[in-house]
């Protein structure tokens, strides 16, 4: 499964100014997936999104993790 291009220098973790709720964060991931590969995040196999959110993983990084895992399921 293709990956979403991440600009160089974008850290893995959200910074202190990012106060997104879990629902807002999931919406960002869904938007990245739609724009990147034309699928909703909800079309992909289940992932541990809540764990990633709690670990402060950036939405674009979580989207790429989910896409990598979906590729492993093919």
Sign of CA dihedral 11, 14, 17, 18: positive
Number of domains making up the chain = 1
| pTM score of the predicted model | 0.84
In this structure, is residue 49 part of a structural domain?
yes
pLDDT for the residue numbered 16: 80
pLDDT for the residue numbered 19: 83
In this structure, is residue 8 part of a structural domain?
no
The residue ranges of the chain whose pLDDT is under 70 are 1, 72-74
pLDDT for the residue numbered 14: 86
Tens-place pLDDT, residues 60-72: 999 999 998 887 5
Q: Could you tell me the residue range of the domain that residue 39 belongs to?
A: 22-73
pLDDT for the residue numbered 71: 78
């Amino acid at each position: 499964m293709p990956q979403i291009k991440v600009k160089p220098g974008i850290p893995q973790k959200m910074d202190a100014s990012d106060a997104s709720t879990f629902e807002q964060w999931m919406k960002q991931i869904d938007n990245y997936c739609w724009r990147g590969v034309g699928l909703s995040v909800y079309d992909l196999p289940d992932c541990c999104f809540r764990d990633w959110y709690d670990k402060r993983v950036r939405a674009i990084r979580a989207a790429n993790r989910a896409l990598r895992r979906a590729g492993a399921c093919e």
